[in-house]
Amino acid sequence: MERTYLMVKPDGVQRNLAGEIISRFEKKGYKIVGLKMFRMSRELAEKHYGEHAGKPFFESLVDYITSGPVVAMVIEGKDAVSAARDMMGATNPLKAAPGTIRNSYGIEIGRNVIHGSDSPASAAREISLFFKEEEIIEYSRDVDRWIYE
């Protein structure tokens, strides 16, 4: 089982899409093991998006992600990292496959509604950046036997 870090970005929260987006991962069968709302500091945003420092969109990306509260979650399940990326769709919502979250709810690349870790290594880094160990809840679900064979 794998864990990934997902985050409804400030536009998603403002547009009342947080519940809808959380729901997609719940309904697929992934287990939520961490969930919270917070507003990101500039310092944390620059750390989170460190790989993009120096790119032309970096400043506006940091402005955007710190512009309001985000809803962050850690989900757990089989191939969670790549499956969540597939469910999100391409970075540019207009290029995202129909039915994906970004395709369904977004238009512009700078307002693409959701973040998700792009590899198991990024997932580990981002989970520890945003969640304390005690904020990740380990529990068993009876329904898992109807989700996994």
Instruction: Give catalytic residue positions.
Output: 115
Select the residue interacting with ligand DAT from 70, 112, 113, 130 (CB under 6 A): 112
DSSP-based three-state secondary structure for 50: helix
Q: Is residue 76 within the footprint of ligand DAT (CB under 6 A)? A: no
Q: Which stretch binds ligand DAT (CB under 6 A): 30-38, 111-119, 124-132, 135-143?
A: 111-119
Residue 116 tokens, joined: 């998700």
Q: How many Å apart are CA 4 and CA 119, to the nearest integer?
A: 8
Q: Considering only residues 29, 68, 69, 110, which one is a binding residue for ligand DAT as defined by CB under 6 A?
A: 110
Residue pair 123/1 in contact (Cβ under 8 Å)? The answer is: no
Determine, following the binding rule CB under 6 A, whether residue 109 of this chain makes contact with ligand DAT.
Answer: yes
Residue 92 CB, shortest distance to ligand DAT, in Å, is: 8
CA distance 57 to 62: 9
Task: With residue 64 as reference, give the H or E element that holds it.
Answer: helix 58-65
* Nearer CB in complex with ligand DAT: 39/55: 55
